Amino acid sequence: MFSASTMDRSLRNVLVVSFGFLLLFTAYGGLQSLQSSLYSEEGLGVTALSTLYGGMLLSSMFLPPLLIERLGCKGTIILSMCGYVAFSVGNFFASWYTLIPTSILLGLGAAPLWSAQSTYLTIMGNTHAKKAGKHGKDVVNQYFGIFFLVFQSSGVWGNLISSLVFGQTPSQEALPEEQLMSCGASDCLMATATTNSTQRPSQQLVYTLLGIYTGSGVLAVLMIAAFLKPIGDVQRESEGEKKSPPFWSTLLSTFKLYRDKRLCLLILLPLYSGLQQGFLSSEYTRSYVTCALGIQFVGYVMICFSATNALCSVLYGKVSQYTGRAVLYVLGTVTHLSCMIALLLWRPGADQLAVFFVFSGLWGVADAVWQTQNNDFGTRVSECQVLHVTCEALRARKVYIYGKTQRAEENTATYEEAELALNQPELDEGRRWGSGVSPFLGGQRFLIMAAQYKFHLEMLE
């Protein structure tokens, strides 16, 4: 009876966190996909995204442990969510003086948000497992499975809302063939041709969408503040937390790993992974979808990407046990290279609607390879994953800055390895390469997910 009631309380808190993140990232995910299309003037949208990921880069290095130690997991989640809401509000008055500062706020809050979420679920799972006489790993995996089952749908809902709202825009006449020549690989901000990418929706529709997104973010904050049980209450009967090591010690140990040549070679994988994600969310949505079809189709196309990405992530998690990692990497490489060559040669048009979805779907198939397999390397989970997130954030800044220049940003480590690292920080040579794969992925969060393991492993050692 005691175990069942404890499980009910724990599950309630897991659901509160899950639906809070669902509401928050329904807003942020949809808004992120539209930045390069809504604010293409002088590259404001891509600059905001570049600034955002720069903030993520900085915050992932030092901010999570500082905030969580002082505010607790619940306080950190609430404060970080407010940064996301501020970004939505900043879009109401879109300018260099509003989007850039709010992008910085969001970026600084992203890593602490995911760190606090992971720490909360991990501590709660281990606490319940101890009381119920179960394996902590099993309960923690169950809680994270519930979380990502709910969270994964945020990409669908956010993009669906944007497409439904912008779908109220009066039908536009098909662009002449000579104007469509400026879409796709030939798109350039300096071009004088008129395309759908230069025709913004009415300001009323933009405000309607932003109002929905902002309201969703505010509801997320209120839900966490009102219904989430503080971690101190969850741990009241548990042993006290071990104080995390000094910041400079952790930072130094992270960058010492650069001396390992094998790790330097592996860094190329997250760098490429980030580049291709940045291309899809910035260039493909604007230069192909918005340019030829209109901004109202961006959401539908990104829904196709999110759906195939999630399904293939689960599939690869099972298939990799039989095929190995190399086969999946070949599949992802061939798929992406084929798409890139086709996109260079393809001249998009409104009469080729299905092709836009084929490309986004294939991109999701290949992206799922990088998102599942790249997170499976290494044994020193905290330092290696921090380097992974650093490279991802750096690539995001580069791809968005590059996009601006040419026209003028759910990382998840394997929980089995993380749990094992609690008792064996440095595994023996024979086990330095992991074999587990996490199917739980989600859009933009892969840039900063690594920071959560860096902190919660330190707290639970």
End-to-end CA distance of the chain: 30
pLDDT for the residue numbered 109: 92
Could you tell me if 22 and 81 are in contact, meaning their C-beta atoms sit under 8 angstroms apart? no
Distance CA 223, CA 240 (A): 28
Neighbour tally for 430: CB within 10 Å: 6
pLDDT for the residue numbered 247: 59
Distance CA 379, CA 383 (A): 9
What residue has token string 């840039």?
447
> pLDDT tens track of the chain, all 461 residues?
445 555 578 889 999 999 999 999 999 988 887 877 787 777 788 788 888 888 887 887 778 878 888 888 999 999 999 999 999 999 998 888 888 999 999 999 998 998 899 889 888 888 888 887 777 777 887 888 788 778 878 888 988 898 889 888 665 556 666 667 788 888 775 554 455 555 677 889 999 999 999 999 999 999 999 999 887 644 544 444 455 556 566 566 656 666 777 777 777 777 788 788 878 877 898 889 988 888 888 889 988 998 888 888 778 877 877 888 889 999 999 999 999 999 999 989 888 999 999 999 999 999 888 877 765 554 334 344 445 445 555 544 444 444 444 444 333 333 343 333 333 333 333 222 222 223 233 333 333 344 444 444 444 44
Residue type at 337 in one-letter notation: L
Nearest by Cα to 350 from 181, 174, 176: 174
| CA dist list (Å): 102 to 43, 134, 241, 263 | 16, 44, 33, 34
Q: Which domains does the chain show, CATH number per domain? A: 2-460 (1.20.1250.20)
Nearest by Cα to 35 from 298, 390, 292: 298
pLDDT for the residue numbered 409: 37
Q: Which sign, positive or negative, has the C-alpha torsion 68, 410, 356, 168? A: negative
What's the whole-model pTM score? 0.68
Residue partners of 390: CB distance under 8 A and separation at least 6: 57, 60, 61
The string of DSSP letters for 205-231 reads: HHHHHHHHHHHHHHHHHHHHHHHPPPH
Neighbour tally for 62: CB within 10 Å: 15
